[in-house]
Amino acid sequence: MNPLRLLRTSTFQLAWWYMGIFGASALILIGVLRWATVNYLEQQSSVAIEAELAGLTEQYRQRGPQALQSLVNARAAISPGVLTLYLFADEQRQRLAGNLVSFPPLTADASGWYNFSGVDADKRQLRMRGRMVVLRDGKYLLVAQDQSRLESIRALIDRAALWALLGGLALALIGGVLMSSSVMGRIDAINRASRQIMTGRLQSRMPVRGVNDEFDQLSENLNAMLDRIDSLIEGVKSVADNIAHDLRTPLTRLRGRLENLTGRPDLNDELRGELGAAMAEADHLLATFRALLRIARIESGTHDREWAEVNLAPLLEDAWELYQAVGEEKDIVVHLGPASGHLRGDRDLLFQALCNLLDNAIKYSPPGSEVTLAVNETGDSVDISVADHGPGVPAGEREKVLDRFYRSAAVAAVPGSGLGLSLVKAIAHHHGGQLVLTDNAPGLRATLHLPKARGPEPGPASTMAPASGTQ
């Protein structure tokens, strides 16, 4: 799967939002946890310091400075889990007892606590937090605790929070990628089935896993809709076949009777001419009806020819030889350019499309002009073009003339039914390509853009023989 395409999916964008919400929630939770832990430890330290300070002050009040000095030295010699620092100093802040070397510079915060740096008896530089009282004889008593343990706990919490956050975001990202890949796999399966249906494989259906999730429900609804459409197409095909059976046979009989009447020796020339005109109209009706049926069957994907590798050189040569003689009757030279290349498709339908394009080009070209049939390979596609020097089609009508029965006003005087280009368009779409009309300056250039290896699987239908159409 294309990573860039995955990043643009709504599922992956939703995963990004989830990661953002998760990250913000984790930061808030970690921040609250850090604050609660540090605040608890600070409170425990504060309670211990205040209790120690209160006990020493009471000893001073009851037993005097000498007893306090001995007690401070004794307490300083003890090494508890949390290093407690003591300093008993005289009125000039000279050290009398304790494990602080000298009286540090002190500045109290708003709550009366001192945060300072100092050196203990072991020459260690410490960051401390404590309280100080001035005794009744002007001496000072300072009790503090080393903050390095609290700082280590803060750093430990910060590192753990960082790794937990990064790990959580990584897991969320991996989960988003896996979830997006799973969803995109389901969507791609539906898209592949949709493309198969659009190219004519009407029996294809959306995949269903059987877990009854929202994708299965969507697929089941689409499959029910496709079943309904398929039944309607079958109904239309049945009606079309009935119409073909009911109308083609009477028209054929009518033409046969007209042809028999023209063979009678007692007819005058005027009546014979009218009968010939009636036969021509019957031929036109039959050709129009056959073209409509061909277009309907091609567009519905019910053509039954086998797809195979088609060599374009003999295909173009056959079409050129057939219409070279037609062009000579109108004093039009039909040229065949270098022909080579292969593509996968239905040879009979491709031959029919070329015949329609050549027939139109010769029909609308003036005597003494030229028509060129050429092929050009470009990467994974093949371009087959037919260019003439006729009146052409205005740019604003080039899409319209591909519709059924539409004819440009510039060629309205030329006989035709307006189905030839519609049939070529249907054949192009049947092969996964398109028909493009451009200006040949002067004239019209009709180009079939066809992929080399693409097209629908054959479906049930009837065989169609090549027949020329009209614009």
| CATH label, 12-152, candidates 3.20.20, 3.90.700, 3.30.450, 2.40.50 | 3.30.450
Place of tokens 């949390």: 82
308-451: CATH architecture: 2-Layer Sandwich (3.30)
Average pLDDT over residues 114-119: 80
Q: Give me the numbers of helices (H) and strands (E) for the chain, helices first please.
A: 10, 12
Q: Is residue 302 a contact partner of residue 461, using CB atoms and an 8 Å limit?
A: yes
- Residue pair 468/423 in contact by the 8 Å Cβ criterion: no
Closest to 418 measured CA to CA, from 350, 334, 356? 356
Q: How confident is the model at residue 267 (pLDDT cuts 50, 70, 90)?
A: confident
DSSP 254-301: HHHHHHHHHT-TT--HHHHHHHHHHHHHHHHHHHHHHHHHHHHHHHTT
Look-up: residue for tokens 């990573």? 3
Over its C-alpha atoms, the chain yields an Rg (Å, rounded) of: 48
Query: How far is the C-alpha of 363 from the C-alpha of 415, rounded, in Å?
Result: 9
Q: Say what the pLDDT of residue 471 is.
A: 45
Domain ranges of the chain: 12-152, 202-302, 308-451
Rounded Cα–Cα distance for residues 255 and 264 (Å): 15
Whole-angstrom distance, CA of residue 319 vs CA of residue 339: 12
DSSP collapsed to 3 states, 132-150: EEECCCCCEEEEEEECHHH
pLDDT score at 116:
82
Percent of the chain with pLDDT over 90: 0
CA–CA separation, 128 vs 105, rounded Å?
12
Residue 443 DSSP SS3: coil
Exposure string (b/e) for 103-125, b if CB count within 10 Å is 16 or more?
Answer: bbeeeeeeeebbebebebeeeee
State which H helix or E strand residue 335 sits in. Answer: strand 333-336
CA separation for the pair 227, 416 (Å, rounded): 37
- As a whole number, mean pLDDT of residues 95-118 equals 83
Bridge partner list, 125: 119
What residue type is assigned to position 433 of the chain?
Answer: G
At the top level of CATH, the class of 202-302 is mainly alpha
Question: What residue type is assigned to position 210 of the chain?
Answer: G
pLDDT at 467 over 50: no
- For the chain, what is the mean pLDDT? 78
Measure the N-to-C terminal CA separation of the chain; round to a whole number of Å.
44
- Residue 387: pLDDT above 70? yes
- The 10s digit of each residue's pLDDT in 206-239 is 888 888 888 888 888 988 988 888 787 777 666 6
| Backbone dihedral region for residue 182 (phi beyond 0: left; psi -120 to 50: alpha; all else: beta) | alpha
CA dihedral 414, 294, 316, 383 (to 10 degrees): 90
